[in-house]
A and B are shown apart, each in its own frame.
Chain A
Amino acid sequence: MGFELLQPRSLAEALEMKKSYGEEAKVLAGGTDFLVLLKDQKLKAEVVMSLRGIRELNFIRHEEGKGVTLGALATHGAVAASAIIRQRFPDLAEACAQVGAVQVQNLGTVGGNLCNASPAADAAPPLLLMDASLILASARGERRISIHDFFQGPRRTVLQADEILKEIFIPQIPGRRGATYLKLGRRKAMEIAIVGIGVAIHLNGSDQVVSDCRIALGSVAPTPLRARHGEEILRNQEIRDELIEEAAEVAAEEASPISDVRASREYRLDMIRVLCRRAIPAALASARGNKVEGLS
């Protein structure tokens, strides 16, 4: 594992380095994926730039009326423990709390989880539900893109050679939101999801009619994705068991899982249905329990 190690102290310094090294310098945040990628030669790096020393990237910031911003160094552990996230984005807190073991959560960052672009990244489905946007920075300046446009395939994102992910922005979501993230692993923990499902239900006024329903799937396609057709079935509807059933069926049709050592394609499709059936009522209950309107 021969590589040169760069340890910038500020974002500006990091961006300058990235500018001069470009593709050659690979970014390391928590490093939980990074060094293993190197070992497996899925990543080649002559130069490694560690972001760990950049204090200004390590934060979780809440701005009333605007939203929540996660710095690139916010770890799964910090996100799962954050009061504001637990309260308003329980799906994200649940996802982060299910990443690997505590030890991995304390090192691994949500940003790294996204940049790594694994189809199984646990933080991705909740952030897809929230229509989060990502702030990508380079010495040339910053750009903001929607998380929906970020993933290009397994291990591939739209990040340019001189860019790093600076922040993740979760916009305020109007209405009462209830959400959950369910993950099925082969073993209870330490396990990459066989299927991961996030569901968010938004209520506006009525407890009965769903103003919006969002379903996001992990591990069942080349990238994490939203099951938009499944969502349609429930949107502006009064939720009934038959509708949940139908939404689950349709969501499964939107996935294109593969068979691998951990589970067969058929099983994954089955589990999308099973988890949808569980997650939709759970999200609804959580939305109903959420008595305050217009949070975030």
Chain B
Amino acid sequence: MNRQTPQIPIVRMEHITKHFPGVLANDDVSLELYPGQVLALLGENGAGKSTLMNMLVGLYRPDSGTIHIRGELAEIHSPQDSMALGIDMIHQEFMLVGNMSVAENIVLGLRDLPLVPKLDEIKARITELSKRYGLQVDPDAIIHDLSVGEQQRVEILKLVYRGADILILDEPTAVLTPGESRDLNNILKKMLSEGKSAIFITHKMDEVIEFSHKVQVLRRGKTVNTCDTKDVTPRDLANMMVGRDVLFSLDRCPFNPGGIKLKVDHVTVDNPLGSRPLLDDVSLEIHRGEIVGIAGVAGNGQTQLTEAITGLLRCNKGTIAIDGRDMTNATPLQVIKAGVSHIPADRGAMGVVGDMSVGENLAMKKYRTEEISRGAVIKKTFMRAFADKLIKAFTIKTPDQDTCVKFLSGGNIQKTILAREIDSCGGVLIAVYPSRGLDVGATEAVRQNLISQRDKGNAVLLVSEELEELQMVADKIAVMFEGKIMGLRNVKETNTEELGMMMAGAGSVRREA
């Protein structure tokens, strides 16, 4: 950490206030970023972090307050304005155009683009940059063929390509695997060593400690603390964010599994595009009152496994049974009626309907039941009461239940999905990266919720990229690699090394050891 001589901040936001209907998202917030520094911006879900940063890139305009860039008053009305000032941002939600190629996405919106861009030159430049920063991306790939992690790499490459020197990163690692996060972090270090400055939003405390020079914490739109990173511990930070002690401990009953609830038997799903099947002869059993974790690097078949179980993906071979009843290639509705809840990996594209209200989104699973409907008619009063109950139980931060879900903060969108799926769980809960984008408090709550479902006798399948999370929550861990299950271990009888080797494709580690 190089000491900075006193100098003018490269970014200075003063007394910024921003209202949305029913919410005061930023309340007199001031912020300073010095050249060459990294400022970590922390806070609970809905604290106003993304909003504050969106004002720096011209997506929102402050109601009041001023922004100075390199000491000069700046009026930023559009992303083009901010780019002209050398500011660029990786957004929490992807901003890529799905049916265009990587190269096209990278140059999209550049100001000095000629009418007919020379795509060859652009591609050459992309290839050169991806080599320099160790970012493997095929410039010709079409965005919606890429995994979430790869898409994030494109976002980073876009940032590098445009060459801004003030970088804003809104939870860039939330959708990345630990390995990918490390890569990103190295790239970031490289960029900083080239003299760039960054504001970094994250819920991962170790990243804060590793990267940032300074920390600023927001709570309910206000700054509650600003300090040097070297003076704080992760625990202090968690306290500042939530305003109380966060207990890092989970309550659970002793492991006492019942009969088999969900049985996946030799399931194969062919890959229409490639040779290696998406799922390759996968077998797995989950008992009542048990949490089985699935570990593995993203893209090794975890999502496909959950989609095969929930009826969203056709199995070519093998069978799936719930309570001994055959559910192979059942419709999604049949699977839901069999009591399966599903927290999907892709919250924006699948988890919610952004243009419908929070209340409606919460009711999307139970609207068929007596709790909300009478026959074919939805009872508005029942639905409202139901939604209010969940909003309270899961502390979803929203002005009211009639607000469109897309206006919620990233973490609160995730909480909306969690609330709906956990509440409607009738025997099997499939949770894919459930704690993505959640703040420390909410992460604890979700993990506790998964465990409560298990204690109630439900079968839980938890897909996660964080071994730590799996070891904390799961009873057993299965590792997936290239569409296969490499092995199933009791949590107590395995360790990080063994799991890590299995994730890299080593099958029978134990026997050799």
* Chains A and B bind each other: no
Contact surface of A with B, Cβ cutoff 8 Å: none
